[in-house]
Amino acid sequence: MNISAKLLLGLSALLALSGCGTSSLNYNKQQLTLQLDKAFIQLDGKLLLTEYDSYGSLTIRQKILQLKEHNIVVYEDARTDIEYEFEKSITQNVKVVFDAKHTYIIYAKNHLYGYQLLLPNGKILNVIAQQDCCQRLKILYGMQSEQFDSILKTLDPKAKPAYYREVMIINAPQNAIQSRWDVQKVHFYPLVSPLPRMLAM
């Protein structure tokens, strides 16, 4: 294969990758935004409380928000140190973070996932998670099933409704956080691991 053919093949592969679907989940200036391909939804979320935690290789920012429907949700943004990465399975990561007894996948497309988790207390928690790169995991939880369905349907009309309708509702910011990050999970489970070293050419 000559150089021109190789370049053309490489360019074709790059264009194919750039055509892949994308997703995002972010919170900025009292607005939650979710995107899936060209679909977009914005939720107003009044900031009630912010928590911060660090485990050396991992930092977590937790925003406790009140939506316009007056219910409370939590947005978590976990980032690894530049030399570390999350384990590849977002479903396994979410299960471990919440100590979930069972993880029901309601929706999955382009790195955006909708889950219903069976928590240790026997309650069901609605969770939307996104991990589009190996060093950042974002989670939104606490929505009622009607809200959960509405968000996913806005992003993808083909999304199926949540199976469980009676779910955990967060009533106060002081006990809103349901995730259970700790040193054991971060370093010894592990949720994160060192990036492979680049070998010298």
Query: pTM of the predicted model, to two decimals?
Result: 0.86
- The answer to whether residue 14 sits within a structural domain is no
The owner of tokens 């679907």 is: 21
Per-residue pLDDT of the chain (201 residues; tens, 9 = 90+): 444 444 333 433 333 333 457 999 999 988 999 999 999 999 998 999 999 999 989 999 999 999 988 999 999 999 999 889 998 899 999 999 999 999 999 999 999 999 999 999 999 999 999 987 788 999 999 999 999 999 999 999 999 999 999 999 999 999 999 999 999 999 888 888 888 864 444
90 located within any domain: yes
Residues 6+ apart with CB under 8 A from 18: none
CA atoms within 13 A on the CB side of 147: 22
- Does any domain span residue 199? no
**Does any domain span residue 201?**
no
Give the residue among 31, 25, 56, 16 at the shortest CA–CA distance from 133.
Answer: 25
User: What is the span of the domain harbouring residue 183?
Assistant: 20-191
Domain-embedded: residue 100:
yes
How many structural domains is the chain composed of? 1
